[in-house]
Amino acid sequence: MAALPACAGPRLEVAAAPSAPSVALADAGVRLVILPNTWRGTPTDLGKYYTPVEVRIENDRTDEIQIRFGDFLAVDEAQNQYRAVAPSEVARALFGRGRPLSAPRAAVAGRTGSRPPVQAAGGPWWPYPFWPYRPWRPLSPYYYPYFYPYYPYPYSFPYYPYGWAPASSYDLLTLGLREGRVLPGARVQGFLYLQQATQKANLLTLSWTPVTADGIPLATLSTQLRIVR
């Protein structure tokens, strides 16, 4: 049990009130609520690559305001700057396009030197046909009914020898904060994905300068977050 906190990795806490789950900032009719440790989505180890911070923005003004990732700024005590990354960019960086690695030619050819038939529309098992699959050597010790469509590769259930498994970026895209306008009296909420900021820093200053629909900057809202390891 003592090893569990270490596995969780660094976390953020409000510097002024370490036990508080959130901090609220308000000025010029704009309210910003920061919740530093609420990520429970997939991937669960997102903190190794980015620093997710959940924010809630409330517009109490009579005009619209804009949300732009470039208006958020995080700076540590050494003046290293970390930018906010769009959810789509985070998804591409972590999951890419989902292209599998090339299959070993020796494994594909087999001892007979012949290649299995290739199906025109393959899934993640391409170039191995999904069903039916007729084994080349029924008496092989690697032949088990459990692995039937993947014979003669006993560990190909279902993605060997490809170096990727299906990974979903659904949480990253749906839970992430979106750019755009916030109507008067409306509120939006989502995760702000900062560049990895918890490896070396100890104190992080997170600030946001909202702008009106015409691009006029309003008062800057900022707070300090302590990095706990």
Per-residue pLDDT of the chain (229 residues; tens, 9 = 90+): 444 443 456 889 999 999 999 999 999 999 999 999 999 999 999 999 999 999 999 999 999 999 999 999 999 999 999 999 999 999 999 988 644 433 444 444 444 444 444 444 444 444 544 444 444 445 545 544 444 454 454 444 444 444 444 457 899 999 999 999 999 999 999 999 999 988 888 999 999 999 999 999 999 999 999 999 8
Instruction: Say yes or no: 65 and 126 in one domain.
Output: no
Compute the half-sphere exposure of residue 67: CA atoms within 13 Å on the CB side of its CA.
25
The answer to whether the beta carbons of residues 183 and 59 sit under 8 Å apart is: yes
Q: Is residue 103 situated within a structural domain?
A: no
CATH number at residue 36: 2.60.40.2550
Instruction: Say yes or no: 161 and 173 in one domain.
Output: no
- Note the pLDDT of residue 97: 61
- Note the pLDDT of residue 168: 74
Domain that holds residue 158: 109-166
In this prediction the pTM is 0.68
Amino acid identity of 209? T
- Note the pLDDT of residue 177: 97
Taking the C-alpha atoms of 35, 40, 44 and 46 in order, what is their torsion angle to the nearest 10 degrees?
A: -20
Instruction: Say yes or no: 91 and 186 in one domain.
Output: yes
Q: Is residue 26 situated within a structural domain?
A: yes
If one counts the domains in the chain, the total is: 2
Contacts of 45 (CB under 8 A, 6+ apart): 9
Q: Is residue 102 situated within a structural domain?
A: no
Q: Is residue 49 situated within a structural domain?
A: yes
Instruction: Say yes or no: 123 and 183 in one domain.
Output: no
Q: Is residue 42 situated within a structural domain?
A: yes
Instruction: Say yes or no: 74 and 178 in one domain.
Output: yes
Q: Which of 166, 191, 206 is the last residue of a domain?
A: 166
Contacts of 79 (CB under 8 A, 6+ apart): none
Instruction: Say yes or no: 135 and 223 in one domain.
Output: no
Instruction: Say yes or no: 44 and 60 in one domain.
Output: yes
Instruction: Say yes or no: 121 and 86 in one domain.
Output: no
Instruction: Say yes or no: 9 and 90 in one domain.
Output: yes
List Cα–Cα distances, 228 to 36, 92, 105, 203, in angstroms. Answer: 12, 28, 48, 9
- Note the pLDDT of residue 4: 42
Instruction: Say yes or no: 64 and 9 in one domain.
Output: yes
Length of the chain: 229
Q: Which of 134, 150, 166 is the last residue of a domain?
A: 166
The answer to whether the beta carbons of residues 13 and 226 sit under 8 Å apart is: yes
Instruction: Say yes or no: 60 and 41 in one domain.
Output: yes
- Note the pLDDT of residue 71: 97
Instruction: Say yes or no: 221 and 180 in one domain.
Output: yes
- Note the pLDDT of residue 197: 87
Q: Is residue 131 situated within a structural domain?
A: yes
